[in-house]
Structure 1
Amino acid sequence: MALRQILADNLRQARCAAGLSQEELADAAGIDRTYVSALERCRYAASVDVIERLADALNVTAAYLLKGLDDGAE
């Protein structure tokens, strides 16, 4: 699976688990809501700075947002 898709899936899952709307997450991370939406739909690639801000807002690690299902399976 492409890393962009992994980020999109993990971002949406973490946001929903935190009970946040896209707008609430965007406000907490200091980015635009439409950017969060685009990331969750794989329309944009996020910079490491944005990934870090999103992770902080979600109280997860940046590595969590980038971790694929097959990571650590070996």
Structure 2
Amino acid sequence: MATKLKVLRAEHDLTQEELAKKLGTTQTVISSWESGGKNPRPAMMQKVEDFFHVPKEEIFFAAFNYKK
């Protein structure tokens, strides 16, 4: 199942590398977020929210212990 971040990235027709450059991080970091291996720090969650205009709680619901 695709994570919300992966879905948003695909909807904006971005590769992991392209998104990483826009956020000032690496493709490996984006991959780990999408796979659920790691969650970004709060400041980076805010950058992702600002970029996609979607609440960070919706994008990273696992980090906020949401159950969907």
**Within 1, Cα distance between the matches of 2:22 and 2:3?**
19
Q: 2:56 corresponds to which residue?
A: 62
For 2:31, which of 16, 20, 37 is the aligned residue?
A: 37
Gaps of 5+ in 1: 1-7
Shift of 1:69: 7.4
Q: 1:5 corresponds to which residue?
A: none
SS of equivalent to 1:45: coil
Gaps of 5+ in 2: none
- TM-score with structure 1 length normalisation? 0.68
Identity rate, percent = 24
Which amino acid in structure 2 is aligned with residue 26 of structure 1?
Answer: A
Aligned length: 63
Q: Which has the higher contact order (CA 8 A, sep 6+)?
A: 1
Write the mapping of 1:39-54 to structure 2, written as runs, cut at 5 A: 39-54=33-48
After alignment, is 8-17 or 54-63 more displaced? Answer: 54-63
Shift of 1:46: 1.5
- TM-score with structure 2 length normalisation? 0.73
| CA RMSD across the alignment | 2.0
